[in-house]
Amino acid sequence: MSILVNKNTRLIVQGITGNEGLFHTQQMLAYGTTVVAGVTPGKGGEWVLNDKVPVFDSVRMAVQATEANATVIFVPARFAPDAMYEAADAGIPLIVCITEGIPVQDMMRVREYLDQKQVRLLGPNCPGLLTPGESKVGIIPGDIALPGNIGVVSRSGTLTYEVLYALKLVGLGATTCVGIGGDPINGTNFIDCLDMFEADPQTEKIVMIGEIGGTDEEKAAQFIASRLTKPVVSFIAGQTAPPGKRMGHAGAIIEGGSGTAADKIKALQDAGVQVAKHPEEIPSLLR
């Protein structure tokens, strides 16, 4: 078992003919992901990667031809909002957006529209997700993770790899690893993933990687205390980050003056979560 993606995931890649899109499609195919099509407007009818993957002009055409049920987006930031609207409009239930640097007001509109369409979004500015041995959607290197019984959810990209790798070195593996992305406005959040891991019979323990800014970790801590039966181990990045490199006064008011690593660690510890001092300490806390 796993969450969000598995053997039955039929993936399309938006932006498949770009550098990143093509490289990572190749990596996903090599891992065993079922990539059924790519989309690049103006290149419909072409085939890429030794004629393994057909390219379509639009998401709608790709879905009609292939019955895709998930998409991963590699298009540049200025085109990414349109790519997400297009995927939602074509009825794809899961959108994974890797693109970083999307303007925040665009993301507020995208999220509002996707919510109305009841589409699940992962990201943007995220590494995607990996169900070891079954499916990889995004850019998480496949060979750094083993299949196992730990659910991993993280706001960071490379820090997630760090944790998967540390688990692998001691023979521990993951059911699914989800990178929710570091942007202020994103789709799937910690609570969504914790909830799915709680419901997944194969997941026995959960690792949650947070960082400074926002209050998502504090909300997750409340959720853990009230709803979760499975043990959670956490790490929060940015304990030594200098303050003041964030938004102005009004932003601080909205966030209730919170967002520091110390606040998050305390909230998690109060909820019974073991918080690691550094990522390589996580495996020992899972024993």
Partner 1 sequence: MKLHEYQSKSIFAKYGIPIPKGRVATTATEARQIAEELGGRVVVKSQVLVGGRGKAGGIRLAKSPKEAEELATQILGMEIKGLPVRKVLIDEAANIEQEIYLGITNDRAARRPVIMASAAGGVEIEEVARTSPEKIIKVHIDPLLGLRDFQSRDIAAGIDLPRDNWKEFARISLGLWRAYSENDATLAEINPLVITKDKHLVAVDGKMLIDDNALFRHADLAEMRDLDEEAGAETEARKYGLSFIKLDGQIGCMVNGAGLAMTTMDIVKLFNGEPANFLDIGGGANADKVAAALRIILSDNNVKVILINIFGGITRCDEVAKGILVALEEVKPKIPMVVRLVGTNSEEGIQLLAKAKMITANTLADAAQKSVLAAQGS
Which stretches of the chain bind partner 1, using CB under 8 A?
19-20, 24, 77-78, 98, 100-106, 108-109, 111-113, 127, 139-141, 144, 154-162, 165-166, 182, 184-185, 209, 211-212, 214-215, 235, 237-242, 245, 247-255, 257, 277-280
State how far the Cα of 90 lies from the Cα of 125, in Å rounded to an integer.
22
Residue closer to partner 1 (CB basis): 36 or 209: 209
CB of 80 to partner 1, least distance (A): 11
CB of 131 to partner 1, least distance (A): 17
Q: Is 214:184 a contact under the CB 8 Å cutoff?
A: yes
State how far the Cα of 59 lies from the Cα of 12, in Å rounded to an integer.
8
State how far the Cα of 17 lies from the Cα of 113, in Å rounded to an integer.
27
CB of 229 to partner 1, least distance (A): 26
Which of 217, 252, 247, 253 shows the shortest CA–CA distance to 232?
Answer: 217
Q: Return the biggest CA–CA distance within the chain.
A: 56
Residue closer to partner 1 (CB basis): 21 or 151: 21
Q: Determine which one of 19, 45, 201, 249 is catalytic.
A: 249
State how far the Cα of 16 lies from the Cα of 132, in Å rounded to an integer.
23
Residue 272 CB neighbours (<10 A)? 12
Residue closer to partner 1 (CB basis): 27 or 202: 27
Judge whether 249 counts as a catalytic residue: yes
CB of 254 to partner 1, least distance (A): 5
For residue 258, report the phi and psi dihedrals to the nearest 5 degrees: -100, -165
Q: Is 151:197 a contact under the CB 8 Å cutoff?
A: yes
Residue closer to partner 1 (CB basis): 61 or 77: 77
CB of 247 to partner 1, least distance (A): 6
* Bridge partners, 96 (sequence order): 72, 122
Residue closer to partner 1 (CB basis): 171 or 250: 250
What is the set of active-site residues? 249
